[in-house]
Amino acid sequence: MEEGVMYADLRFPPTPAPQQRARLPWCRAAFSLGLLFLMLLLAQIILVSLSFHYLVQQQTSCTDGPWRTEESPSYGKQTLEAFGMNEAESPFENMQPALAGQDEDGAEPNLGCWSRRWCIPVGLLVTCLLLVATVALGACYWQVTRSLQDSSREHMAEQGRLSQELRVQEQSLEHTQLELARAREELQRAWHEGNISQLQLDRLNMELRRVTGVLSRTEREVQDVQGRLNNSESTVALLRSCTAIDCCPSGWLLYRGKCLFISSEKKTWEDSRDECEKTYSQLLVTKSWSRWTVPTFLKNADVPYWIGLQKGSFPWYDYGWLEEEDPEGEGASEAWFWVDGSLYERPWQSKSNGTCAIISRGSIKPAQCTGPSDLHLWICEKAAGPSLPFK
């Protein structure tokens, strides 16, 4: 094909690889909640251990007796060193340390026992609060975990459904790609066949043009041959023109390619015309004869003969524009016609007497033919040739 086929780019985008399962936010929340729960539990254990250890120390201090500063002589020194002072500069150098367990009134309250009384309830309270917080946190963790499990199951179901739809879409895509490949192959095959057909069509067109040219030349040659044939037929017709007496029926004379019949009885012009028509002929028409071609027997004969010339309007011709006007101005016009419908070539210049014509001594003359007494001999003519019907 002269024009190329434009293909559309129908390639499908590559199928995306299945994505990995993304971590959901609730997984991180559950992990954080569990870690917080473990940290609270660990803090509770540490607090319980510290409370128990503190209670044991307080119990020991209560059994040892009054609190004495001598048991910790280095405490004051450390305090003075912290403030940048020595023992001489200390404001407490003149003060005598009181006995542990004695106040101004001389009473000796037991501070260790007092601390032991309040530390145990406080520790138990803190432990209960931590236990309540742990239980509440555990309940929340259980509820959140259950909700997350439900959401996870729903997510898995939705993911399964989407995976099934994805597989169906992938199968449909593969089927469509196969159909597209087959369609492309079919299109390529059709395009190839179209190219072959176009080449064949071009060859046929070239052959048609060549045959058309040959046919045109042949037609011209046929026309030339036909023209030569027509010329040959005309020549043959001329060569075959009768030159013997047997080309005319019996009783007819051959003269210049015409068969002439000379009657032996007299009749009116109309009857003479009818007699000629009975023999497939017509009254003599001498328009093709000149003065020198008139037959000798007509030149020398004193007997007049009817010929095929008559005055008046021929029924199927209108030669009014050729009619002669009366030279005397009487308004009468005349026209003479041959029996074959043609106009007489040499009309008479004066008003003629008669409506028909005769030939006598080789000359054409008008004659009366209106009455039954207007009788003359007549001459019939027809073309010579043996192929014409004769009677």
165/136: higher pLDDT: 165
Letter for the amino acid at 310? Q
DSSP annotation of 245 reads: G
- What pLDDT does residue 180 have? 95
297/268: higher pLDDT: 268
- What pLDDT does residue 66 have? 45
* E strand segments, 236-355: 253-255, 258-262, 282-283, 305-311, 324-325, 333-334, 336-338
Among residues 11, 2, 10, 5, the alpha carbon closest in space to that of 189 is found at 5
Burial label, 9 (beta-carbon count in 10 A; 0-12, 13-18, 19+): exposed
Average of pLDDT values for 216-224?
A: 91
Letter for the amino acid at 17? A
* E strand segments, the chain: 253-255, 258-262, 282-283, 305-311, 324-325, 333-334, 336-338, 356-360, 363-367, 377-383
Rounded Cα distance, 158 and 154, in Å: 6
- What pLDDT does residue 352 have? 62
Asked whether 308 and 380 are in contact (CB, 8 A), the reply is no
CA 28 to centroid of chain Cα atoms: 61
| Choice among 130-144, 224-238, 262-276, 284-298 with the minimum mean pLDDT | 224-238
Q: Is the dihedral of CA 368, 370, 375, 377 positive or negative?
A: positive
Q: Is the dihedral of CA 295, 296, 299, 302 positive or negative?
A: negative
CA 344 to centroid of chain Cα atoms: 74
CATH annotation of 248-383: 3.10.100.10
Average of pLDDT values for 80-90?
A: 54
